[in-house]
């Protein structure tokens, strides 16, 4: 009793300690860079700014607002864009690509929080300005969160549900006090994954209507030219307020950035070969090995480079829409997965270049594959461990392998047996359910590469009486049907970081299952998966975090929500030699916003 009384007496003293303003915040541990840092370690700090770069993408655009459903996947690139850079809108803090999940000051000069992260306070940099010269204020931050709550798309519209109080503090501070829905990652999501919008330049009544009116932003570029569906040209703002911040040194190096849109990948590559596009990221092994026989690549004007980031594998695969009754049974999903002949696909289409993906965090300490569940993980799983096979718990489970012949009888026999356990049987060459209805579904694809993979899968399934149709649609239809979950099966890629967090809820959480525009393509709603996500979000110590992610990984694999394809251990990118880059690449791989025009150096 005396010990309890002593602890209770200490509690108010601990919770009322005034937090010190900090230059950065890390999900786990401390920021690697001290408050006196001058630049990120993976930039060229003395770079000469100038010149231009031409990017190319496949698709189209008809909007400048990626934060609403109407413009979610049809917004011009660069507005809010981790790949090309957040050219127009900025977050409160920016992420270092050389640490798992650490943020440093941007619009917010400093940040404050308590040990339990029950609140976070962002102190706006007094120098922060909008492109029209007006100051960025705490009122802009409050306006942004309220506007996105009322008019935004997932996940932006749900962020304030974790807040019990949002208030201005002093002249430059904004404080968020959290409720029970928040977790330890919530302050970092507010800081880095939410754009700050100008209150004075946005009409809330028309915010969700899309359109191409040129917005006011705080970022380093302005829109110079806009040709809807074809091209957007950005020009560097010479009055950009943040150009001398340590977190921006070595970034935003071009005077002009042009993004050109193409209908097909092949047309984009032809433009790259001609020098109309400067940088070409390549994800096709055959293409990477065989397509660079044109003169500029042979004489050294085009440079091919492979980067090896320190990241987990992620997951690329055929995704089941479990909202469809035919895919509600995990046995049916497992049977279809088992029938997939990856070895034949890899040999025939890709020259054996790829490794099949076995789990979502493969090639890292966070992954379940190759790592047995320890006592901490088993305790987290609780009764959920009973629905996991001994192989998954032991970390030895792997996807069904074949002899690569394209018709492995052993693998197909295993698939037929699983179908039988789900109530199906083959009759007159068709896979029929108990009522005599054939098993048939459609996979939606968006380009030639996906179509080739689907054709290989279709061929194998046909051998056991499963009818898989293929529908390749244009970009606009693909995006609309993806947003509304209007498909049986789709091919998607899920990136994995060393700090998975709140983004997982939007991919696999029960609350995102029916939220239009969410990334829960599989339609997952599993209380055990929700529990593991909550555990990884609340973990304070690295070992607790690792146990939670591994348990989560096992549940995703056991659910057979995806037919896994392959991962590439490298990032492949070709560039014209006049595009330079820093000498080193960070943990997350090459960063295009740090590259530059070597002709002006």
Does 560 share its domain with 581? Answer: no
The whole-number average pLDDT for the span 578-589 is 96
User: Exposure of 15 by Cβ count < 10 A (0-12 exposed, 13-18 middle, 19+ buried)?
Assistant: exposed
Residue 6 lies in a domain: no
Contact residues for 381 (Cβ-Cβ < 8 A; gap 6+): 373, 388, 528, 532, 551, 554, 555
Residue 4 lies in a domain: no
Q: Which CATH number do you get for residue 295?
A: 3.40.190.10
Beta strands in 59-147 (DSSP E): 93-95, 102-105, 108-113, 119-124
Q: pLDDT-derived band of residue 245, with 50, 70 and 90 as boundaries?
A: very high
Residue 72 lies in a domain: yes
Does 296 share its domain with 328? Answer: no
Does 284 share its domain with 371? Answer: no
Q: pLDDT-derived band of residue 17, with 50, 70 and 90 as boundaries?
A: very low
- Which has more confidence, 455 or 4? 455
Token reading at 567: 């991962």
- Closest by alpha carbon to 591, among 579, 581, 577? 581
Does 560 share its domain with 590? Answer: no
Does 561 share its domain with 425? Answer: yes
Does 338 share its domain with 301? Answer: no
Residue 277 lies in a domain: yes
Instruction: Return the bridge partners of 65, or none.
Output: none
Q: Which CATH number do you get for residue 426?
A: 3.10.105.10
Global pTM reads 0.80
- Closest by alpha carbon to 399, among 340, 319, 312? 340
Alpha carbon 345 to chain centroid distance? 26
What is the DSSP pairing of strand 571-576 with strand 24-26? unpaired
pLDDT computed for residue 72 by the predictor: 81
Does 250 share its domain with 202? Answer: yes
Residue 87 lies in a domain: yes
Q: pLDDT-derived band of residue 18, with 50, 70 and 90 as boundaries?
A: low
Residue 50 lies in a domain: yes
Token reading at 84: 């090309």
Residue 594 lies in a domain: yes
Residue 1 lies in a domain: no
Does 461 share its domain with 421? Answer: yes
4 has a pLDDT exceeding 50: no
pLDDT computed for residue 175 by the predictor: 98
Mean pLDDT across the chain, nearest whole number? Answer: 94
Model confidence over 436-463: pLDDT tens digits?
Answer: 999 999 999 998 889 999 999 999 999 9
Q: Which domain holds residue 441?
A: 315-567
Does 213 share its domain with 349? Answer: no
The whole-number average pLDDT for the span 408-436 is 96
Number of domains in the chain: 2
- Residue that the structure tokens 């993979």 belong to: 453
Token reading at 401: 């392998």
Q: Residues 384, 533: contact at Cβ < 8 Å?
A: no
Instruction: Return the bridge partners of 178, or none.
Output: 163
Q: What is the C-alpha separation between 411 and 565, in angstroms, rounded?
A: 17
Q: What is the C-alpha separation between 439 and 492, in angstroms, rounded?
A: 23
Does 69 share its domain with 157? Answer: yes
Does 451 share its domain with 590? Answer: no
Does 124 share its domain with 229? Answer: yes
Model confidence over 498-516: pLDDT tens digits?
Answer: 999 989 999 999 999 999 9
């Amino acid at each position: 009793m005396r010990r309890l009384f002593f602890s209770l007496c200490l509690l108010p003293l601990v919770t009322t300690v005034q937090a010190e303003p900090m230059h950065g915040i890390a999900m786990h541990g401390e920021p690697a860079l001290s408050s006196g840092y001058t630049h990120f370690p993976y930039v060229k700090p003395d770079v000469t700014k100038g010149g231009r770069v031409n990017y190319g993408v496949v698709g189209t655009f008809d909007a400048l607002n990626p934060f609403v459903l109407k413009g979610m996947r049809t917004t011009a690139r660069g507005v809010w864009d981790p790949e090309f850079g957040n050219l127009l809108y900025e977050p409160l803090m920016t992420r270092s690509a050389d640490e798992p999940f650490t943020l440093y000051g941007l619009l917010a000069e400093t940040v404050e929080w308590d040990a339990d992260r029950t609140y976070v306070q962002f102190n706006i940099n007094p120098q922060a300005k909008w492109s029209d010269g007006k100051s960025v204020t705490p009122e802009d931050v409050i306006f942004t969160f309220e506007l996105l709550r009322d008019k935004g798309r997932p996940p932006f519209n749900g962020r304030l549900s974790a807040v019990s109080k949002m208030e201005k503090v002093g002249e430059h501070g904004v404080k968020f006090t959290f409720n029970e829905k928040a977790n330890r990652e919530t302050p970092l999501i507010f800081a880095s994954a939410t754009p700050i919008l100008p209150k004075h330049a946005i009409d809330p009544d028309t915010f969700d209507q899309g359109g191409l009116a040129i917005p006011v932003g705080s970022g380093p570029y302005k829109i110079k030219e806009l040709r809807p569906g074809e091209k957007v040209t950005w020009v560097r703002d010479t009055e950009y307020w943040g150009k001398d911040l340590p977190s921006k040194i070595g970034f935003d190096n071009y005077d002009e950035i042009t993004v050109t849109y193409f209908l097909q990948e092949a047309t984009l590559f032809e433009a790259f070969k001609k020098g109309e596009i400067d940088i070409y990221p390549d994800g096709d092994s055959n293409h990477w090995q065989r397509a660079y026989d044109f003169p500029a690549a042979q004489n050294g004007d085009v440079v091919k480079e492979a980067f090896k980031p320190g990241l987990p594998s992620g997951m690329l695969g055929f995704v089941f829409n479990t909202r469809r009754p035919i895919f509600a049974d995990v046995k049916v999903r497992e049977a279809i997965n088992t029938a997939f002949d990856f070895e034949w696909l890899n040999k025939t289409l890709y020259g054996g270049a790829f490794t099949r993906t076995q789990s979502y965090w493969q090639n890292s300490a966070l992954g379940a594959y190759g790592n047995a569940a320890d006592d901490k993980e088993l305790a987290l799983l609780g009764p959920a461990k009973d629905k996991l096979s001994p192989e998954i718990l032991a970390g030895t489970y792997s996807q069904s392998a074949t002899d690569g012949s394209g018709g492995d009888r052993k693998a197909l026999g295993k698939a037929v047996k699983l179908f039988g356990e789900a109530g199906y049987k083959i009759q007159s060459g068709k896979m029929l359910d108990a009522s005599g209805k054939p098993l048939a579904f459609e996979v939606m694809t968006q380009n030639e590469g996906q179509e080739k993979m689907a054709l290989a899968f279709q061929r194998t399934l046909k051998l056991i009486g499963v009818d898989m149709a293929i529908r390749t649609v244009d970009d606009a239809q693909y995006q609309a049907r993806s947003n509304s979950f209007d498909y049986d099966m789709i091919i998607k890629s899920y990136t994995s970081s060393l700090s998975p967090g709140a983004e997982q809820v939007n991919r696999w959480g029960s609350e995102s299952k029916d939220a239009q525009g969410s990334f829960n393509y599989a339609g997952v709603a599993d209380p055990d998966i929700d529990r593991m996500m909550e555990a990884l979000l609340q973990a304070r110590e690295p070992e607790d975090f690792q146990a939670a992610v591994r348990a989560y990984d096992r549940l995703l694999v056991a659910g057979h929500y995806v037919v896994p394809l392959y991962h590439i251990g490298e990032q492949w990118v070709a560039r014209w030699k006049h595009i330079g880059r820093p000498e080193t690449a960070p943990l997350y791989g090459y960063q295009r916003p740090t590259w530059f025009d070597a002709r002006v150096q």
